[in-house]
Structure 1
Amino acid sequence: MTTARQGGTGRRWALRVLLALAVLGTGTWAAFQLSPWPSVLLIRWAFDKGAVEASDALRKHLPAGVTERRGLAYDAADPDARLDVYFPAQVQGSDQRLTTVVWIHGGGFVSGRRGDIANYLHVLAARGFVVVNVDYTLAPKATWPTPARQINAALAYLQANAAELNIDANRIVLAGDSAGAQIAAEVANAITSPAHAQRIGLVPALQPDRLAGMVLFCGPYDVGLVQWDSPFAAFMRTVLWSYLGRKDFYDDPRLDTFSVSRHVTSTFPPSFISAGNADPLEPHSRALAAALEAKGVKVDTLFFPKDYTPALPHEYQFNLDNEAGRLAMERSVAFLQGLSRDAPSAE
């Protein structure tokens, strides 16, 4: 009798556990279907882990003599509107003004922070540039085109404080990686094309002749190039749902405006464009380069053969321990130095 009673109790307990698991599973499935947030949090966890590892690997490359000003508020009304500025050794205690690279971090529009790439940008600043590292509000908290408008506000702030920050206001370069590259290119489109500025509702803070160039790594520049049957598609669905603010984004007319390479003009600034051969977004970089070249824009590219080994993943440029990463740094620096020679200096 006791054994039978214990057996019944055990079965009831197991049934309760199975029921609880079923409810939990159903609730989890529903949560992922009703909001992008569960998937976004997983992406942030994975991206944050990778960013820490990449940043730690760059410590051995940190140069001497680079100084910084951190946490500057480029829009007092926006708590997310912060930037850091890195200065090479030669500007310390001087009124020298240098070509200024305004870099926008990546993270799929839903992740990332300026600290993730600080070590890399210190290395770049040491090569003779003022480098600005800009934060913006992430999705789903903010949707498209909020980051573009925030970068526009940052450009206004940098021009207003150019003398204090050793910035040559006539030689501004927009740069970015991954999602940041898309944002940078979108802002450049708005600065150089009144029609595109109107499309995204932006009044450019920078005159077109002050935007000297672009440095773009691994960006998503045309939604039409996404392979929706690939493993990468799940990530893109979460990102676009978060960034556009609607799950049924496939028919959203804003996707056309988001697709930067469809709207470039002959007035787009000279550009350095690169991506790794194993990056699922590499076709986007190649398509943007081709679109710009077709418009007569000066383009410098760094792409790799499909059989290049070791295969170069998304954001390959941040790895300065391999030949490809070092080459990307040298080529982008050479491009920036060429812009410095070509553009007039601020008085």
Structure 2
Amino acid sequence: MRVFPLLIWTGGVLVVLAAAIAIAFVVSPWPSVLIIQRTFAGGDTASEAALEKHVPPGIVSVGNVAYGLGPDEIFDINYPPGAASQLPAIIWVHGGGWVAGSKEGVANYLRILAGYGYVTVGVEYSTAPGATYPTPVRQVNYALKYLLAHAAELGIDPNAIILAGDSAGAQIAAQLALLSTDADYSGKIGIAPALTRAQLRGIILVSGAYDINGLKLDGPFGGFINTVLWAYSGVKDFLNDEQFKLVSVTQYATAAFPPAFISSGNADPLGPQAVALATKLETLGVPVDALFFPPDHAPLEHEYQFNLDTAAGQEALDRMVDYLSATLAR
């Protein structure tokens, strides 16, 4: 006799729950971000496993060195075999759409780069929505300050720093390059740079986003882009937020920007962003080593460079190493 009332009650609960979930996706980026974080974690695990066989023997790694007091304010550092003197350092900012990812997701790639004779550092930072812009920029800048202050004991040449990053990390790294080379821009953000222009010898930017006005917010990836920028900015109307407009590196780049290696895949939705930044820098007279692929090349998706089992991934690594050698010799 009670079956029908129970079914009605259960159905009502499900309707209310479904409505609550739908509303949650509208009023907060958190539900979508949780899904994105799980997806990115799985991708990082697979990428790291595939790169393991490419890590050269003898790399010395030290993990979770604190550069600040926060739980996310840590870094990993890697040394080539037999490193006995201060070496140029590649400071890498991981990707993850500003809401996900971790330094563990680029750990093996940085070990591989260390094998070419560099100190490599994978910096962790807090992600959105828990930490909004410009928190990650401040944190990585503080990590740079720590690395410079402890350069002697860490085996780093403080006058041979290369900033680097992938995806969202490329945007953060590029913004730090602007901070380090443009006092007016630094003042607008309110972050005093840890690096001087003389110390910042170059920058590696792969699969990054550099201009929010150039993103297709209504395209196939529009939902994802809107979610992560809402989460990172902390405001739903992020396009009209005056402070958040400063994330658009391409709009603010100057001739003082460091020599850059820039690349993206030909099937990467962010590819046009990389091309636009490379073009702007070249117009300004900044030395740029750009690696792009023609439309008729086999499709190369976002973060193609981490797949060293492909010719394109290996080419990107080779070009990075050549760029590093040439840039540090200037």
Q: What's the counterpart of residue 320 of structure 1?
A: 308
* Structure of larger gyration radius: 1
Long gaps (5+) in structure 1:
343-347
Question: What letter matches 1:26 in structure 2?
Answer: A
Q: What's the counterpart of residue 43 of structure 2?
A: 50
> What displacement does 1:16 show?
2.6
Question: What letter matches 2:72 in structure 1?
Answer: D
Residue 291 of structure 1, aligned match among 263, 280, 286: 280
> What displacement does 1:340 show?
2.4
> What displacement does 1:254 show?
2.5
Q: What is the aligned length?
A: 330
Normalising to structure 2: TM-score of the pair? 0.97
**Partners in 2 of 1:196 and 1:335 — Cα distance?**
27
User: Are 1:336 and 2:324 matched, yes or no?
Assistant: yes
**Partners in 2 of 1:294 and 1:166 — Cα distance?**
36
Question: What letter matches 1:172 in structure 2?
Answer: I
Identify the range of structure 1 (62-71 vs 211-220) with the bigger mean alpha-carbon deviation. 62-71
Give the SS at the match of 2:274: helix
Q: What's the counterpart of residue 118 of structure 2?
A: 129
Give the SS at the match of 1:55: helix
> What displacement does 1:14 show?
3.1
> What displacement does 1:31 show?
1.3
User: How many percent identity over aligned positions?
Assistant: 46
Give the SS at the match of 2:154: coil
**Partners in 1 of 2:302 and 2:255 — Cα distance?**
28
**Partners in 2 of 1:293 and 1:62 — Cα distance?**
34
**Partners in 1 of 2:155 and 2:328 — Cα distance?**
14
- Whether the 8 Å contact between 2:133 and 2:244 is mirrored in structure 1 is no
Residue 88 of structure 2, aligned match among 99, 122, 136: 99
**Partners in 2 of 1:301 and 1:90 — Cα distance?**
32
Residues 114-163 of structure 1 show CA distances to partners (whole Å, capped at 9, x for unaligned) of: 11110111111101111011001111111111111111111111111111
**Partners in 1 of 2:240 and 2:328 — Cα distance?**
43
- Whether the 8 Å contact between 2:213 and 2:239 is mirrored in structure 1 is no
Residue 24 of structure 2, aligned match among 4, 19, 31: 31
**Partners in 2 of 1:319 and 1:337 — Cα distance?**
22
Residues 304-332 of structure 1 show CA distances to partners (whole Å, capped at 9, x for unaligned) of: 011211x1110000000000000000000
Alignment of 1:80-229 (within 5 A): 80-91=72-83, 94=84, 96-229=85-218
> What displacement does 1:256 show?
2.3
> What displacement does 1:194 show?
0.3
- Whether the 8 Å contact between 2:212 and 2:239 is mirrored in structure 1 is no
> What displacement does 1:98 show?
1.4
- Whether the 8 Å contact between 1:256 and 1:262 is mirrored in structure 2 is no
Q: What's the counterpart of residue 21 of structure 1?
A: 14
Give the SS at the match of 1:100: strand
Q: What's the counterpart of residue 79 of structure 1?
A: 71
> What displacement does 1:15 show?
2.4
- Whether the 8 Å contact between 1:261 and 1:288 is mirrored in structure 2 is yes
- Whether the 8 Å contact between 1:143 and 1:243 is mirrored in structure 2 is yes
Long gaps (5+) in structure 2:
none
- Whether the 8 Å contact between 1:223 and 1:255 is mirrored in structure 2 is no
Residue 237 of structure 2, aligned match among 244, 248, 254: 248
Residues 227-262 of structure 1 show CA distances to partners (whole Å, capped at 9, x for unaligned) of: 122121111111111111111223212342110110
Question: What letter matches 1:81 in structure 2?
Answer: E
User: Are 1:234 and 2:226 matched, yes or no?
Assistant: no
> What displacement does 1:10 show?
4.1
**Partners in 1 of 2:24 and 2:121 — Cα distance?**
38
Question: What letter matches 1:80 in structure 2?
Answer: D
**Partners in 2 of 1:325 and 1:254 — Cα distance?**
36
Q: What's the counterpart of residue 345 of structure 1?
A: none
> What displacement does 1:17 show?
2.9
> What displacement does 1:11 show?
3.6
Identify the range of structure 1 (168-177 vs 9-18) with the bigger mean alpha-carbon deviation. 9-18
> What displacement does 1:276 show?
0.4
Q: What's the counterpart of residue 258 of structure 1?
A: 247
Give the SS at the match of 2:329: helix
RMSD: 1.1
Question: What letter matches 1:46 in structure 2?
Answer: T
> What displacement does 1:13 show?
3.5
